[in-house]
A = this chain, B = another copy of it.
């Protein structure tokens, strides 16, 4: 947990229990939670924390590149502590979001930069499908 506090300090963010809790939660989940689910999951340990604080904290972490905001096409955003650009696979049944940590896009990226003459800075790739466990349930 200490490292997280250091990271926050390095980014000139004050270290508060709320920030640590949110950041810690995000670093230790593979769920890609929304602000609402972060709030709910911390409710028992931080009963006085408000949803506004969750949003403000996520915004602060986002600005210093400690978390990234995902827009998988739902009503609300999801958050990911891994800021390295990576594709995601989303199950259209159970809404699980999985990371793909490969850099499979590098050649595609180059080709696009070349044809569009854009100076590319980032990308978001979402694959939608049915995960193995939902596939087996369906049958």
Chain A residues with CB under 8 Å of chain B are: 69, 71-73, 87, 89, 91-92, 98, 100, 104-105, 108-109, 111-113, 115-132, 135
Pairwise interchain contact A73-B116, C-beta atoms closer than 8 A: no
CB distance from A24 to the nearest CB of B (A): 26
Pairwise interchain contact B73-A124, C-beta atoms closer than 8 A: yes
Q: Which residue of B lies closest to A116 (CB)?
A: B89
Is the contact region of chain A dominated by helix, strand, or loop, or is it mixed? Answer: mixed
Pairwise interchain contact B131-A127, C-beta atoms closer than 8 A: no
Pairwise interchain contact B125-A130, C-beta atoms closer than 8 A: no
Partner of A118, one of B104, B120, B130: B130
B residues in contact with A73, CB < 8 Å? 69, 71, 124
CA distance A41 to B73 in the complex (A): 25
Pairwise interchain contact B121-A129, C-beta atoms closer than 8 A: yes
B residues in contact with A108, CB < 8 Å? 104-105, 108
Partner of A116, one of B100, B120, B125: B100
CA distance A73 to B135 in the complex (A): 29
